[in-house]
Amino acid sequence: MLLAVTLIGFVVHERSLAGGRWLSTFLPLAAAWAGIALPLGLYQFETARQPAQIWRVLLAAVYTGPLAGLLRTLWYPGMIIPVFVLVLTAMTAAGLGVWRLALSFLIRKRA
């Protein structure tokens, strides 16, 4: 889903995916998510199967966006663009929130 968020952003802004510049957004986003999701228990099956645990995903996204923005700035030195961080945070929360809700309902349906 993080890859989808990144690629959708590049497509919406009519940026080429050929040069690999999308990696400068995806890798910091993936690293930030991996570091934040682990302590919030988002890699545990019990968390994934409970729709009421969606707050963990949204909280992780709130922390992931700014951290990814900071990591991206280390990759491409410059200033952090607040609007970019806000949009990245919102899109990450929306994408992962919908994905996790769908996954939890699918798991519960099969059980």
Q: What tens digit of pLDDT does each residue of 22-49 get? A: 898 999 999 999 999 999 999 999 999 9
**Structural contact between residues 62 and 89, judged by C-beta atoms closer than 8 angstroms:** yes
First CA to last CA distance, the chain: 24
User: How do the domains of the chain map onto residue ranges?
Assistant: 2-110
Q: What tens digit of pLDDT does each residue of 42-55 get? A: 999 999 999 999 99
| Residue 78 tokens, joined | 């410059």
Q: What tens digit of pLDDT does each residue of 43-97 get? A: 999 999 999 999 999 999 999 999 999 999 998 888 889 999 999 999 999 999 9
Instruction: Write down the pTM of the prediction.
Output: 0.89
